[in-house]
Amino acid sequence: MKDLDLGNDWLRLAERYRQMTESELAMLAREPRKLTDAAQQILAGELSRRGLKIEPEPVEELPPLPPEPDVEGSSDGDDSPYKEDRALVEVCTVWSLRDAYQVQTLLDRAGIPFYIGPENCNWC
């Protein structure tokens, strides 16, 4: 029964995209990451059917990361009594973007400052 619902949703969305103007489709196509996988597939099919080629807008450049503190601690100076407490430590290694988001969420909720480095980052 669930497959029937998915099929109906697919058809309903395909019909909705068929009724959209080219400019409306272009707006959707420029931000594909806001669409589900199914919606992206249906949109691609509609664009192909109409013979439209729309390039997605370039992703915004993120601001540069702040400089990393040296291995010994922070850049507050060598006389800081918290120098040892501020030293970076490796908590874990993650193998996917999803896992990285989970670690980020856990540390955020615990109020623990953290830094996720780009070392060997395949998704960056």
Q: Is residue 26 exposed (0-12), middle (13-18) or buried (19+ Cβ within 10 Å)?
A: middle
The tens digit of pLDDT for each residue in 20-50 reads: 999 898 888 888 778 888 888 898 899 889 8
Structural contact between residues 46 and 18, judged by C-beta atoms closer than 8 angstroms: yes
* The predicted structure's pLDDT at residue 87: 77
Q: What is the pTM of this model?
A: 0.43
Higher pLDDT, 68 or 95: 95
